[in-house]
Amino acid sequence: MSGDVTVISGPSGVGKGTIVRALASAYPQVWVSISATTRPPRPGEQDGREYYFVSDAEFDELVATDGLLEWAQVHGAARYGTPLAPVLAAVDADRRVLLEIELQGSRQVRRRLPGARYVFIAPPDAETLLARLRGRGTESEEQVRRRLQTAQTELAAAGEFDHVVVNDELAASVAELVELLGL
Ligand code: 5GP
């Protein structure tokens, strides 16, 4: 599989979802993969929009049938994965494919698609990230603690990526990505 694929990674709470959504709404040629996950929907989330919310058995089936480009267990809890067929279809349709996934998944994609573009979204500083992780308000203290732990591991891996975008301000981060993708 060749085509134009960009993997966007970075710690949870860094704002990568917002950046990706802003980019996709401004550029119709951009196609954002919708992941499958075993975590339950948060208030306001819709099946097939933010994620495909699946059962453990359904996720097992996706893994067993090689239906995922990559997958990972996140924060020691739910599993998340990128359905392969829609990515292949988007590449075939010459779309600019964006995968917004965490570190372990991006490493798997790099093994399968070494020619893809790998972008790390970093927080301006650790305090901002902490505030954002807490600010979401939908997680328990224990969940926030786990997210912070994962975030530390992820921050340490920024050097593995081709590009690092420091998300100080949304518009500036989107503009940087527009440049990187040559949109
Ligand atoms: P959340 O539960 O906050 O929506 O996402 C938690 C983490 O899972 C985020 O860091 C997000 O980037 C990551 N994630 C979402 N979808 C996928 C996926 O398909 N694969 C992998 N490896 N990570 C994903």
| pLDDT for position 66 | 97
Distance CA 135, CA 101 (A): 21
Torsion of CA 58, 59, 61, 64, to 10 degrees: 180
Look at residue 136 in the predicted model and tell me its pLDDT.
65
**Which of 71, 80, 113, 150 gets mutated to test ligand 1 (max ligand atoms within 8 A of its CB)?**
80
Alpha-carbon radius of gyration of the chain: 16
Tell me, in angstroms, the distance from the centre of ligand 1 to residue 51's CA. Answer: 9
pLDDT of residue 2: 67
Classify residue 39 as left (phi > 0), alpha (psi -120 to 50) or beta.
beta
State the distance from the centre of ligand 1 to the C-alpha of 120, rounded, in angstroms: 14
Residue 8 pLDDT: 98
| 179: region left, alpha or beta (phi > 0 left; psi from -120 to 50 alpha) | alpha
Q: How far apart are CA 164 and CA 167, in angstroms?
A: 9
What's the one-letter identity of residue 139?
E
| Domains of the chain, CATH where assigned | 4-181 (3.40.50.300)
For ligand 1, residues with CB inside 6 Å are: 12, 35, 39, 70-72, 74, 80-82, 100-102, 104-105
pLDDT profile of the chain (183 residues), mean per 10: 89 90 97 98 96 98 98 91 98 97 96 96 85 73 81 90 96 97 95
Other Cβ atoms within 10 Å of 143 Cβ, number: 14
Q: Whose CA is nearest to atom 5 of ligand 1?
A: 12
